[in-house]
Amino acid sequence: MVVSRGRTPRATEIITQLIKAKGLRDRVLTTLALLVVVRLGIYIPVPGIDRVAFQQFIQQGGQLIGFLDIFTGGGISALGVFALGILPFINASIIIQLLTAALPSLEDLQKNEGEAGRRKIAQLTRYVALGWGILQSLVFATILRPYSISSIPEPVFVLQTTLALVAGAMVVMWISEVITERGIGQGASLVIFLNIVATLPKALSSTIELAQSGDRSTIVGIVILALVFMATILGIVCVQEGSRRIPIVSAKRQVGSGALLPERQSYLPLKLNAGGVMPIIFASAVIFLPLTLANLTKSEWLIRVAGYLNPNSSTPWLYAIVFFSLITAFGFFYATLTVNPVDIASNLKKGGVAIPGVRPGTATANYISGVQNRLTLLGSLFLGAVAIIPAAVEGATNVKTFQGLGATSLLILVGVAIDTAKQIQTYVISQRYEGMVRQ
């Protein structure tokens, strides 16, 4: 097969590599097999629970559980041993990221210790995931306690439920790491991707039933909602791939016995959405925090605050304003964690690279910071719009079958699909070059 070194692999070339290249085929099959194991674990039941009563609780307004159920692929509502899924590991990763930015020792471990430092941080993340999983399991077991079978003593029920959920969460974490090392894509992201996709058939079947039993206005609402989702996905792709390319120039350098390397021109890419889906996840966690505390403490004023921050309340505009503001704020916060203009300017100066028309050092850092702030503002406004518009259209059209599959789910689906496709393309390109070397 004749290929060009400079172009992106086509679908036919990727399929050919999947069939012929044993390495890529084994990675894909390993990933698919482990993802099947993750799905099967959701249907292994946690013992000692009255599931009928618990399902009634979810249908009567367990909003927090319903929201988290999307990311576990129905594991929480099914009450399987994998009910927590990858959530403890994701939460632990976020905590470690925040601590790395706050603690100089962790920052030094990440930046200066190389592969050994990254392994230590990964091990620390596992320990935090275990602790967080135990905490989440205890809270979940406490929530499930009124729905336990009466013949089981309360301490025994809490203990066995906690052990089952923690063991399931650790197995899912291990599977995600195996996928990252021996499969295709980032394991934790693919597990969340799978869980979100698993909820789509139910939403689609409910939508079809609604269209068949509804009137003309219902069908029009479904069509409008579908168009909004398509436009949202298109916008997410553009923003996820969008970046500002700042031109940089490397000075002429002399090497060897007098040879002079010419001046080279390149660019410094700054992503339009540096935080990805994290600002929405953080904002969602803060929005649901009063509801979580209200369920645990039964405080009247927390119940009142949670009611105001409910998108289905009489004041949905208040929820929209608070949610939009939180997303914008967390967008700037997460951008400061992922992009450090001072470090970038220092690295450029050390490498003899400069931005045309900008002095090296502090001036370069200020210039990069200004560009990044403008990009972050645009990206945060887009994230806020993506988070609010689908929910507003659902309320306007009165089509609630996709409730929960909002901005966070769409961003994760599109982002993981793009990243996994790029990794497969990279592998195919590497195989292409290996074939050229053999020839």
Task: Specify which residues 243 forms β-bridges with.
Answer: 271
Q: Which of the listed residues 178, 198, 218 is the one where a domain comes to its end? A: 198
Q: Give the pLDDT of the chain (439 residues) as one tens digit per residue.
A: 334 444 677 777 777 777 777 778 888 899 999 999 998 888 888 888 877 777 777 666 555 565 566 666 666 777 888 888 888 888 888 788 778 777 888 877 777 777 788 888 889 999 999 998 898 888 888 878 888 877 778 888 888 889 999 999 999 999 999 998 888 888 888 888 888 888 777 777 877 877 777 677 778 878 887 888 888 888 888 887 788 888 888 765 555 555 555 556 788 888 888 777 777 777 776 777 776 666 666 677 777 777 777 666 666 677 778 888 888 888 888 787 777 888 888 888 887 788 888 888 888 889 988 988 888 888 888 888 877 777 777 767 777 666 656 666 777 788 788 888 888 888 877 776 665 545 5
One domain, residues 211 and 90: no
Give the integer Cα–Cα distance in Å for 273 and 182.
Answer: 29
The pLDDT assigned to 2 comes to 38
One domain, residues 162 and 237: no
The pLDDT assigned to 61 comes to 52
The pLDDT assigned to 33 comes to 93
- Per-residue pLDDT of 27-55, as tens digits, reads 889 999 999 999 888 888 888 887 777 77
Q: Which of the listed residues 168, 198, 228 is the one where a domain comes to its end? A: 198
Name which of 1, 2, 24, 23 is nearest 425 in CA terms.
Answer: 24
DSSP secondary structure of 231-262: HHHHHHHHHHH-EEEEEEEEPPEEETTTEEEP
- Residue 277's domain comprises 204-439
One domain, residues 159 and 279: no
The pLDDT assigned to 4 comes to 44
Q: Are 81 and 164 in contact (CB under 8 A)?
A: yes
Assess if residue 30 is contained within a domain.
yes
Task: Specify which residues 45 forms β-bridges with.
Answer: 80
Cα dihedral 234→238→240→243 (10° resolution): 180
The pLDDT assigned to 215 comes to 72
Question: 145: domain CATH number?
Answer: 1.10.3370.10
Assess if residue 15 is contained within a domain.
no
The pLDDT assigned to 252 comes to 56
The pLDDT assigned to 339 comes to 79
Assess if residue 380 is contained within a domain.
yes
Assess if residue 88 is contained within a domain.
yes
Assess if residue 35 is contained within a domain.
yes
One domain, residues 176 and 286: no
One domain, residues 97 and 179: yes
Q: How many CA atoms lie within 13 A of 70 on its CB side?
A: 19
Give the integer Cα–Cα distance in Å for 334 and 324.
Answer: 15
One domain, residues 357 and 214: yes
The DSSP output letter for 9 is P
One domain, residues 208 and 356: yes
Q: Which of the listed residues 198, 224, 255 is the one where a domain comes to its end? A: 198
One domain, residues 232 and 169: no
One domain, residues 155 and 44: yes
Assess if residue 82 is contained within a domain.
yes
Assess if residue 397 is contained within a domain.
yes
Q: Which residues contact 240 (CB under 8 A, 6 or more apart)?
A: 273, 276, 411, 414, 415, 418
pTM value?
Answer: 0.77
Number of domains observed in the structure of the chain: 2
